[in-house]
Amino acid sequence: MPLIDVHAHTEFSLEKLIRIHSSFTDSRLTKEELLEDVENLGIEYMFSIGKKDGMLRSFSSGEITDGVDTLKKELKQYPFLKRIIAVSLQNEGNLNQIEKYSRNELVSGIKVYYGYSITDPNSEELKPYYDLASEFGLPLFFHVGWCFPNIKEIAHPSKIEPVLEQYPNTQFVLCHLGYPKVEDTADIVSKYGNAFADISGLVSNQSIKNGRYKQDLKKVKPVITELLESDVGNKLMFGSDYPIVPIEVYFNLLKEIIPQEHHDNVFYWNAKNFFKL
């Protein structure tokens, strides 16, 4: 079965991640290991989400780049790679950059780091970004749920509802199924035709180390199953949130909690149809 990963991060500091994951075996953090996993796991597409500063970085070098030709060359060199650029209200040129990339068909979506650099998804400052997404037919990815490292901070999915209503023809992806607010997120996905969700980041290397991942997956399993068995089962998409956990490890954990009859859709067809690939 081929695989589509709609939520990954390939723009990272390898040195920082090695420190974070030092006690976890086989973290698969280097670019070479990632490319091996893409091939071995049959990943047809991977959607790489940019950092909060709103800049895109070269997959090859990790350096910031704003060159259209450079990005075109990389997308041709790595045909599995799709880019999602982040909103940054602190970066004055961010909106113009996103428009330039969108016009040249270099990005596949726009990420709103709600709960982090974006505190209010209904802010007037965000309206030009929402309008841009609508103009180019790009989905908006919203971080929802826990805001690491301070898990007491929660980006609640209900605050996105006014935007969903204001932009009914724009598709929204609520990331991480809004964990721990999975029931609320599921209700929104069921209620709004333009609301979708990815199931990335439900466990991490840390939760695997301390065993908490079993409790986390136990909490989400009935919610995921109920959604999949409803008439909105086509709205759930696989995402790994790489590199917080090795892709294969996370893929295998999710296969255990998702009913077998839904594997093809969750891990491939739902995303294939959503992005019209």
* Residue-wise pLDDT tens digits, 216-230: 899 999 999 999 999
Name the CATH code of domain 3-274 (choices 3.60.20.10, 3.10.20.30, 3.20.20.140, 2.40.160.40).
3.20.20.140
**pLDDT tens, residue by residue, 13-36:** 555 555 555 444 456 777 888 999
> So where are the chain's domains?
3-274
* Whether the Cβ atoms of residue 71 and residue 103 lie closer than 8 Å to each other: no
How far is the C-alpha of 253 from the C-alpha of 262, rounded, in Å? Answer: 15
- Confidence (pTM): 0.94
pLDDT at 22: 47
* Whether the Cβ atoms of residue 205 and residue 27 lie closer than 8 Å to each other: yes
Nearest to 116 by CA among 145, 147, 161, 146: 147
